[in-house]
Amino acid sequence: MTTHDLIIIGSGSGNSLLTPDYDDWHVALVEDGPLGGTCLNRGCIPSKMLVHTADRARIAATSDRFGIDTSFAGADWPAIRDRIFGRIDPIAASGEVYREQADNVDLFKTHGRFVGHKDLAVDDQVISADTIVLAAGAHVHVPAIPGLADVDFHTSDTIMRADELPARTTIIGGGFVGVEMGHVLAALGSEVTMLVRRAGLVTDEDPEVSRRITAAYGRRLDLRLGTSLVEVEQRGDEVVVITGDGEVVGDALLVATGRTPNGRDLGVERTGVELDGEGYVVVDDHGRTTADGIWALGDISSPQQLKHKANADARLVAHNIVHPEDLRSLDLGPVPHAVFGDPQVASVGMTEPEARAAGIDCAIVVHDYASTAYGWAMEDTSSIVKLLADRDTHLLVGAHVIGPQASTLIQQLIQGMRFGQTVEQLARDQWWIHPALPEVVEQALLAFDW
């Protein structure tokens, strides 16, 4: 058995744990995939590069209403794919070389699994450490649909590296992965059918947001809601999904039904680490698990499977391990998120049903982009800002944006909520540039009627 000072399992946000504070530590870094983890290699970065490309295609296809003679004539998928991964893969490769050359780091390019308390099997050896960080993320969830195991299907791990753009794509799932990839594939020329079990897309969002994005996708592609899946079959080069309403035939199938944390795959039950009912590692406010000396961060311990959350966790855990006398906790306010579909969605804080359930007496504003100068210039007819504020305190408890630049427009509201600014302070105690798009946020704030 080899003993280290620190074992880190996972090289996504876990890789950033190694600040100069750890230069004198003997560290084992365990990673069974490319360095950089999900976000860099098969998640948020390549997908957003694809989204940006798809946005350009949509602009080309929909600019005639502005008097511009443009059209979309097709996409060179291999060129798009190779541009993206031609940039990403060298980053992962150079990260691997960097860690291999580090004097104090042993890189294990394999899957690790606990065989005892703080004893981790890696290939044909066992390593141990007094301090261990679980940063192994999550993996795609594949539902138990009869026949699925016998057909060729994609997940978010593989679809972005496909050899060609499918002529017809069937997507199972209406969450953020399905919404984002549905936008990408449809914009670049695939005929997309989305099969969604629920009554709308991204139904964890505020109902007004879910309703609007569902309507938008219903206009763009073949959206089938409330769908029950019976079986999947491979018929030659085609994949057939049999539903309660008939058959859907496609050239490719994308399964986008969520992600599952990797705690059980590591065998953490052998360490004394507790998992919750959904399989997430249980941590306290400082990032500590229920086993002494074992910490966790990111998607393995957070149902908010977001890179910015994982990065914040990593900074927290990195500090707390070396400063046990000065333990910190994350106190950054509600965790925001965005969905990079078309339209974009961004949200922070409570939805309207959540606020009602919490007993908050809410004032609610729904404000159209079209009411502002820039929204009017954009010919926008469907985008909104929805704000929820406590009538007693005049503090925002939730903010939801659906439309162009939503992920950027919401940032000022995130800041206002974090620092306890009232609606009036946000609206009146700063300048808002006219006729910039953020005026829609200003006008929404000014529209509250107490």
Residue 410 CB-half CA count within 13 A:
28
User: Could you read off the pLDDT of 146-193 as tens digits, one per residue?
Assistant: 999 999 999 999 999 999 999 999 999 999 999 999 999 999 999 999
Edge-to-edge order in the sheet of strand 238-243: 229-235, 238-243, 246-250
How confident is the model at residue 96, as a pLDDT? 95
User: Could you read off the pLDDT of 51-73 as tens digits, one per residue?
Assistant: 999 999 999 999 999 999 999 99
User: Could you read off the pLDDT of 298-314 as tens digits, one per residue?
Assistant: 999 999 999 999 999 99
Locate the DSSP E strands across 227-310: 229-235, 238-243, 246-250, 252-255, 259-261, 294-296
Task: Indicate the average pLDDT of the chain.
Answer: 97
What domains can you pick out in the chain, each with its CATH number?
2-140+260-326 (3.50.50.60), 148-257 (3.50.50.60), 343-446 (3.30.390.30)
User: Could you read off the pLDDT of 112-135 as tens digits, one per residue?
Assistant: 999 999 999 999 999 999 999 999
User: Could you read off the pLDDT of 11-65 as tens digits, one per residue?
Assistant: 999 999 999 999 999 999 999 999 999 999 999 999 999 999 999 999 999 999 9
Q: Is it the case that residue 246 has pLDDT exceeding 90?
A: yes
Structure tokens at 180: 């984002």
User: Could you read off the pLDDT of 384-412 as tens digits, one per residue?
Assistant: 999 999 999 999 999 999 999 999 999 99
Q: Is it the case that residue 1 has pLDDT exceeding 90?
A: no
Could you report how far apart the first and last alpha carbons of the chain are, in Å? Answer: 67
User: Could you read off the pLDDT of 186-224 as tens digits, one per residue?
Assistant: 999 999 999 999 999 999 999 999 999 999 999 999 999
As a whole number, mean pLDDT of residues 221-234 equals 97
Q: Is it the case that residue 351 has pLDDT exceeding 90?
A: yes
User: Could you read off the pLDDT of 255-277 as tens digits, one per residue?
Assistant: 999 999 999 999 999 999 999 99
Residue pair 171/153 in contact (Cβ under 8 Å)? The answer is no
Among residues 52, 141, 323, 434, which one is catalytic?
434
Residue pair 204/73 in contact (Cβ under 8 Å)? The answer is no
The question of whether 154 is a catalytic residue gets the answer: no
pTM exceeds 0.85, yes or no: yes
